Amino acid sequence: MPELPEVEITRQSFAQAITGAVIHRVNLGKALRWPLGCETSELQGQRVLGVRRRAKYLLVDLSGGLLLVHLGMSGSLRFAKQLPEPGLHDHFEMHTSLGILRLKDPRRFGAVVFAKSQSDAVAQKLLGHLGPEPLEENFTPAYFKQALAGKTAAIKTVLLDAGVVVGVGNIYANEALFLAQIHPKVAAGKLSKARVAKLLEAIQRVLQRALAVGGSTLKDFSSAAGQEGYFQLEMMVYDRAGEPCRVCLGVVRSLRQGQRSTFYCPTCQKR
């Protein structure tokens, strides 16, 4: 699944190029996770004012509303002046005066949803419950400690809760816990103030590094300009079960937590 770095890299790769574009028409393929929420004709003639990100949502600001784009499990965007004919898995295509924006999503868990504004009920249903951005100033050690207080669930599971902090995702939760030397099964509420601060710093370092190298391309992720990421070449534990730890040379292990695979080094990461 595209996580925060991949979504932000996608945003950066087309936001400037599409800003100012006038929408000529929108074509829909097979149904996505949620309906568009308006007739495609309502989008014709609207101007793209900019592209923002909130958690794993891309927010395309329009002169008469807002498009909320989620890439789901397997989605990716392309933006170019010309694109090949739509394929089997291309389910949303927006033709504009500056190019074509296309969503490809083989598993169709992604979505493009129209809202009148970010404050209306449609947008708030998707965005209103979200916690702070991990790379912004309001994600502080004090907030993080308070958010984890009393939680008996494993810290790895809690990191995937968007109500606590958004966009960390499975890949980067594994990597941050390794960097912070915290075992993924430790109860979130039992982490000391010092360990919480260390984990927060690790989350930010891992995400910043992923952004710097274009995100992670594990299967078919690429930016809207078609560029792949390289963070997977630097992963310390994710998807490395049975391989030697890059620090202590012990064996990286895996377990299942909340239907997700967790990877960790039992020597480096303490309970």
Residues annotated as catalytic (active site), given as ranges? 2-3, 56, 260
Q: How many Å apart are CA 208 and CA 169, to the nearest integer? A: 14
Pairing of β 99-104 and β 90-96: antiparallel
Q: What is the DSSP string of 196-235?
A: HHHHHHHHHHHHHHHHHTT---SSS---TTSPPP-GGGG-
What H or E segment, with its residue span, contains residue 3? Answer: none
For CA atoms 119, 121, 122, 123, give the dihedral sign. positive
Q: How many Å apart are CA 72 and CA 56, to the nearest integer? A: 9
* 3-class DSSP assignment, residue 106: coil
Nearest to 117 by CA among 53, 43, 61: 61
Residue reference for tokens 């030397």: 181
Q: Which amino acid would we find at residue 6?
A: E
The distance of Cα 189 from the centroid of its chain, to the nearest Å, equals 25
Supply 185's token pair.
């099964």
Q: How many Å apart are CA 103 and CA 118, to the nearest integer? A: 21
Q: Tell me how crowded residue 88 is: count the other CB atoms within 10 A of its CB.
A: 9
The distance of Cα 206 from the centroid of its chain, to the nearest Å, equals 14
